[in-house]
């Protein structure tokens, strides 16, 4: 089963958010149909029906929760690589998948690959980048983005971690069920979940399968601006892409644009139309599209890391 998606569905995804990080805590109302409907200007029943349709088709596979990386004593960044041998790209992706603590691999059409990885120290990052250089044949990868997250000052308790573990791959499950599983009161589960959400200790995002959307293409648009660019330039870019826009950010390197976006559309022709429209905006010097043809998730290791956090806290308490 595949689902046909339009601007309303893309608007829903924009409110939910696709990326499991951000500089401020995420509003947990972002997954409520009434909140989403108000934000995108439709009736609540319409938003609810569209969400159910995406879930039924398998486009939204499930909702997952990610702990703030500060609680894992690590950071995260994405790097863009150009593979030396495009014919061996899938083999290269398999080799990259063996690197520890990966988050995602984004396979773009052509030679480009974005590898999103976690690291504990600069030395750890250097070792992993060295392996990726060897695997891809690219001696000079470019840092694409950093996974910024809110600063957290409170350490999580055993109960906090157990709540995160219980919600890991079913993040919208009612807390009443979670409280019964963990043998705690609903009041305790709600208080702790609300506190963690409010302080930015976790992020919830939908896990997507773009292949379940009929004719849908996900792509990154890298926008290179010139000295004439100002806030009006950004407003015009967002207005020009409002039916396709999901997310935007400032890349870590100007080699990959000054203002980048994640967009959905239904054809390469539409991508060219959007590029031409944005190229004509004053303050834009050029644009470049990276069309996604594969999105690979490698976050199972987070589950075992959460288990380790719980075990360490239990052991410390017993000692």
Q: Where are the domains of the chain?
A: 7-64+153-210, 70-149, 212-296
pLDDT of 1 > 80? The answer is no
Average pLDDT over residues 237-250: 93
pLDDT for the residue numbered 213: 87
CATH number of this structure's domain 212-296: 3.30.70.920
The H or E element containing residue 103 is: strand 102-108
Give the burial class of 164: count Cβ atoms within 10 A of its Cβ; 0-12 exposed, 13-18 middle, 19 or more buried. buried
**Class (C level, CATH) for 70-149:** alpha beta
Average pLDDT over residues 203-213: 91
pLDDT for the residue numbered 298: 93
**How far apart (Å, rounded) are the C-alpha atoms in residues 288 and 290?**
7
- 309 token code pair: 């956090």
pLDDT of 140 > 90? The answer is yes
Whether residue 118 contacts residue 78, with contact meaning beta carbons closer than 8 Å, is answered with: no
Which residues does 56 contact at the CB level (< 8 Å), separation at least 6?
1, 3
Query: Is CATH 3.30.200.20 what the domain over 7-64+153-210 is classified as, yes or no?
Result: no
pLDDT for the residue numbered 148: 93
Q: How far is CA 199 from the centre of its chain?
A: 19
Average pLDDT over residues 12-38: 94
Phi and psi for 58 in degrees, rounded to 5?
90, 5
User: 70-149 and 212-296: same fold?
Assistant: yes
DSSP-derived letter for residue 123 is: H
Residue 295's pLDDT band (cuts 50, 70, 90): confident
- 85 token code pair: 């041998």
Average pLDDT over residues 68-74: 94
**How far apart (Å, rounded) are the C-alpha atoms in residues 69 and 268?**
36
Residue 313's pLDDT band (cuts 50, 70, 90): very high
| pLDDT, tens only, 141-191 | 999 999 999 999 999 999 999 999 999 999 999 999 999 999 999 999 999
SS (H, E, C) 242-310: CCCEEEEECCCCHHHCCEEEEEEECCHHHHHHHHHHHHCCCCEEEEEEEEEEEEEECCCHHHHHHHHHH
pLDDT for the residue numbered 269: 94
Parallel, antiparallel, or unpaired: how do β-strands 259-265 and 112-119 relate? unpaired
List, in sequence order, the alpha helices (H) in the chain.
7-16, 33-40, 44-57, 89-96, 122-136, 158-167, 175-182, 186-199, 231-240, 268-279, 301-318
Residue 83's pLDDT band (cuts 50, 70, 90): very high
Give the burial class of 23: count Cβ atoms within 10 A of its Cβ; 0-12 exposed, 13-18 middle, 19 or more buried. exposed
291: left (phi over 0), alpha (psi -120 to 50) or beta: beta
The tally of CA atoms less than 13 A away on the side-chain side of residue 160 is 19
| pLDDT, tens only, 34-53 | 999 999 999 999 999 999 99
Give the burial class of 251: count Cβ atoms within 10 A of its Cβ; 0-12 exposed, 13-18 middle, 19 or more buried. buried
pLDDT for the residue numbered 319: 60
């Amino acid at each position: 089963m595949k689902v046909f998606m339009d601007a309303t569905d893309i608007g829903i995804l924009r409110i939910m958010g696709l990326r499991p990080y951000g500089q401020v805590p995420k509003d947990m109302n972002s997954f409520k149909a009434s909140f989403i409907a108000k934000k995108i200007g439709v009736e609540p029943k319409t938003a609810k029906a569209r969400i159910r349709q995406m879930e039924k088709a398998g486009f939204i596979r499930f909702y997952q929760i990610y702990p703030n990386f500060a609680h894992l004593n690590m950071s995260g960044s994405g790097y863009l690589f150009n593979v030396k041998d495009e014919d061996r790209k899938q083999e290269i992706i398999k080799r990259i998948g063996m690197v520890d603590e990966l988050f995602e691999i984004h396979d773009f059409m052509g030679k480009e690959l974005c590898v999103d990885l976690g690291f504990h120290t600069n030395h750890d990052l250097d070792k992993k980048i060295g392996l990726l250089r060897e695997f891809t044949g690219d001696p000079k990868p470019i840092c694409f983005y950093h996974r910024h997250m809110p600063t957290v000052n409170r350490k999580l308790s055993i109960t906090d971690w157990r709540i995160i573990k219980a919600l890991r791959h079913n993040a919208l499950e009612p807390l009443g069920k979670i409280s019964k599983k963990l043998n705690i009161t609903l009041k305790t589960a709600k208080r702790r979940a609300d506190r963690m959400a409010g302080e930015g200790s976790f992020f919830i995002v939908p896990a997507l399968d773009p292949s379940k959307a009929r004719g849908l293409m996900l792509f990154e648009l890298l926008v290179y601006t010139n000295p004439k660019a100002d806030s009006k330039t950004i407003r015009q870019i967002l207005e020009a892409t409002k039916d396709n826009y999901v997310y935007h950010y400032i890349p870590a390197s100007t080699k990959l644009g000054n203002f980048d976006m994640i967009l959905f559309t239904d054809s390469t022709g539409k991508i060219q139309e959007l590029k031409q429209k944005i190229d004509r905006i004053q303050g834009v010097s050029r644009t470049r599209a990276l069309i996604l043809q594969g999105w690979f998730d490698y976050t199972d290791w987070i589950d075992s890391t959460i288990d380790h956090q719980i075990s360490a806290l239990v052991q410390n308490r017993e000692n």
